[in-house]
Structure 1
């Protein structure tokens, strides 16, 4: 059984899943992505929506083999073999975790520039879930 995200929850988070939509704290200016209930720096709870570029660099990464894949990614791991999951420092400041694709896992490196893309993440109960993945940035 895979991770379950209800349809209402999925619909409420479309901006952060499909548009790199974050939020900026109205007190201290910290940018959060995905949006939080309170500012991670000053605990303020008022924000303004900001569009993020989706550009960043790899802070750290790991390569998962088919046996290490979460259940919702088992089909992908079986079809593609190993795949990369990275912690990415977005240019605007937030640090997020996402899959890196369209690259040989042996070519991924810390500090590598990457660019976010909206891609198919997995399918659950006949519903395709989309979200962001990263690809090597083109110079």
Structure 2
């Protein structure tokens, strides 16, 4: 079987009530029935809320990079399916994050979205 190199988010949608969830599950979190079906979520969304991590998280489990800690943004990305996904937000300047359109660039170890980078679904900046 051939593997795709595309980065995708795997979620689920309840076949009874229509609730969309991330990450993927077989159980609906709203109506609590085992009726959720797999769903590939959109790779583009809008920053809904964010904060700046300005100090290194506690270690362990965080492992600081060899070149020292740099502040980074963490927030929620609202997807067209109506759900919000927590993710690391890549940007050149933190002040550009307010309601910024973003695209998925990685899923491991956690989702990561970038400002100003778009897949074939959107326009390039």
Regarding TM over 0.5, the answer is yes
For residues 55 and 91 of structure 2, the distance between their equivalents in structure 1, rounded to whole angstroms, comes to 17
SS at match of 2:111: strand
SS at match of 2:64: helix
> 1:90 aligned to 2:79?
yes
- In the TM superposition, what is the alpha-carbon distance from 1:46 to its structure 2 partner? 1.3
Aligned 1:4-15 pairs, distance under 5 A:
none
Give the direction of change, closer, same or farther, for the CA distance of 1:64–1:55 in structure 2 (3 Å limit). Answer: same
Does the CA-based 8 Å contact 1:103-1:135 persist in structure 2?
Answer: no
Give the direction of change, closer, same or farther, for the CA distance of 1:41–1:66 in structure 2 (3 Å limit). Answer: same
> 1:100 aligned to 2:89?
yes
Which segments of 5 or more consecutive residues in structure 2 lack a partner in the other structure?
1-6
For residues 107 and 73 of structure 1, the distance between their equivalents in structure 2, rounded to whole angstroms, comes to 26
Give the direction of change, closer, same or farther, for the CA distance of 1:36–1:48 in structure 2 (3 Å limit). Answer: closer
Give the direction of change, closer, same or farther, for the CA distance of 1:113–1:73 in structure 2 (3 Å limit). Answer: farther
Equivalent of 1:135 in 100, 108, 114: 114
Runs of at least 4 residues off by over 4 Å: none
Equivalent of 1:113 in 75, 94, 101: 101
